[in-house]
Chain A
Amino acid sequence: MHKNIEIKNIEKSYGEFQILDNFNLTIPRDKIMCIVGSSGCGKSTILNIVSGLVKPDSGDISNIDDKLISYVFQEPRLLLWKSAKDNLKYVLKGKIDEKNLDEYVEDWLDNVGLSDYKDFYPRQMSGGMMQRLALARAFAMPSNLLLMDEPFKGLDAPLRHKMIELLQRLWENDKKTIIFVTHDIQEALLIGHRVVALSGRPAEVLDNIKLNMPIKDRKIGCTKLNRIQGTLYELIEKGSLGVNNCKIKDKYCPPIGFDTINKNMFNYH
């Protein structure tokens, strides 16, 4: 059992824009934490700092082994010149025993329903298939931390729901620590053990909600989930989420996730 990851007093600015100002967050191990917030207000920066891609101006992150991180990006980021199988092998080489590598890769392709496409190149696949392959790559990597940056953003609604179900299933079988960044509150509720809502720049934690409902029971439209979504909406209405805390008032920092929430309200209430 690993210790929880602690993000402590992180500061980060790009030029005059202060993205993170004394930012603190605890990421529970072997659970899925969803970070919700409007675009451009620091969610991705947090992921990039955790992954080590971006160095913070100050502050630190404890209990993290940056050699064992996997990532699912907004775009699949596959090597177009390698087949599905070889894309997985490319990141796994040297991390999985060479003798079992083929079998291991095929198992993971099977897990995401791509076993018939193992020799296909990304160009021959649909967007959903490519993102499934990216998911397989992230889970197949022997990592204890998985970062996901709006991985289903580019997909249409039915496909997105399928991907959420797939993610739920994959996590049930292999309980990695996941940080999942999204702007879609419903998505966050379907997969998060914790849902953290961020304000606009500089990002601050507005709310940190714990959801006890088992991941596998969470289905779109299930009453229990709708009730939580309703509660969350109430919270937002009361202003705990809806207040625009952004210190630089501009078009880049609208009140958090309002459009998403309103849309989902009409669909599911």
Chain B
Amino acid sequence: MLKKIDKKMIVLSTTTFLIIWQIASMVYPIVVVPSPRSVILKVFIYLFEKEFYEDLGITLFRGAVAYIIALVVGILIAFLIRYSEILRKIIYPYLMALQVIPRISWILLAMIWFPLNSTIVIFIIVVTIIPIISLNTLDGLYNIDYSLIEMAKIFNVPKVEMVKGIIIPSIAPSIFSGMKVALGTTWKTVVMAELLTVQTGIGARLSYAKAAFATDHIMALTFYIVIVGLIFQGLLTLLKNHFERWKMDA
């Protein structure tokens, strides 16, 4: 629970922020800094707009599909690299290179390669987050405590149980931390890719708002992007805590 002093600080900082924003909006033209009032109004307008929810749904769908594909492929790649010397030599350098290829290069290439629809957005996200998932999973795979496997072998524990009882719980924390970073990246990337390539989704809305110099819309949409992003981070943290109950109240 928040302490009284924390509550006071939040109220104080929010008020100061709003006051500075209000003053800035009076000094600069509305296109540069719209007033807090107009932005808050847009936030409320979106709440009652059916098309906004449709766009949000499309964006979430693209993000989710890409996230799940990258998660499965990324974990698979990590296992291949960990347990095959040859595949490690072949795949690992590409993985490292993939990690530093700018997203904007992928966007440009994808625009040339693919038709301008959801595929392009999903492709961009997948190639961006696969290295994050793979490298984190790999980290977990290298950190499995071999002495526990040894114990299980001596006690004649079946192989399936070794995977379920030792390998998965050992790599889960690394996968979760990869998933967390990848989730943030997915959400930022989906909006950017939409903005640059397609006509639907929250990103496309941002693009239209920019074309119309509707800065208040850009800010209101960003507000929703942040809120939704935080909600998903929160859900992932809940899931992680559920899996790692044993780390609690030690």
A interface list, Cβ under 8 A from B: 51-53, 67-71, 73, 75, 77, 79-83, 90-91, 93-95, 121, 123-124, 137, 141, 147
For the complex, what is the distance from the CA of A83 to the CA of B250, rounded to whole Å?
Answer: 12
A123 CB contacts on chain B under 8 angstroms = 246-247, 250
Q: Is the CB of A81 within 8 A of B246?
A: yes
In this assembly, does B115 line the interface, its C-beta being within 8 Å of a C-beta of chain A? no
User: Shortest 5 CB-CB distances between A and B: which pairs?
Assistant: A123-B250, A91-B155, A121-B246, A81-B169, A77-B151
For the complex, what is the distance from the CA of A120 to the CA of B151, rounded to whole Å?
Answer: 21
Per the 8 Å Cβ criterion, residues 229-250 of B in contact with A are 244, 246-247, 249-250
Please judge, given known A-B contacts A79-B165, A81-B244, whether A70 and B155 are in contact too, CB under 8 Å: yes
Instruction: Select B158's contact among A51, A73, A94, A124, beta carbons within 8 Å.
Output: A94
Chain A nearest Cβ from B167, distance in angstroms = 11
Q: Is the CB of B250 within 8 A of A82?
A: no
Q: Is the CB of A80 within 8 A of B157?
A: no
- A69-B155, A123-B250 known; 13 new pairs, CB 8 Å cut-off, are A53-B153, A71-B154, A75-B147, A77-B147, A79-B148, A79-B165, A81-B246, A83-B246, A90-B161, A90-B165, A91-B152, A124-B250, A141-B155
B165 CB contacts on chain A under 8 angstroms = 79, 82, 90
A124 CB contacts on chain B under 8 angstroms = 249-250
B interface list, Cβ under 8 A from A: 147-148, 150-158, 161, 165-166, 169, 244, 246-247, 249-250
Q: Is the CB of B148 within 8 A of A70?
A: no
Chain A nearest Cβ from B179, distance in angstroms = 18
Q: Is the CB of A69 within 8 A of B250?
A: no
For the complex, what is the distance from the CA of A95 to the CA of B156, rounded to whole Å?
Answer: 10
Q: Is the CB of A80 within 8 A of B246?
A: yes
A52 CB contacts on chain B under 8 angstroms = 154
B169 CB contacts on chain A under 8 angstroms = 79, 81
B246 CB contacts on chain A under 8 angstroms = 80-83, 121, 123
Instruction: Select B151's contact among A73, A83, A94, A95, beta carbons within 8 Å.
Output: A73
For the complex, what is the distance from the CA of A71 to the CA of B149, rounded to whole Å?
Answer: 13
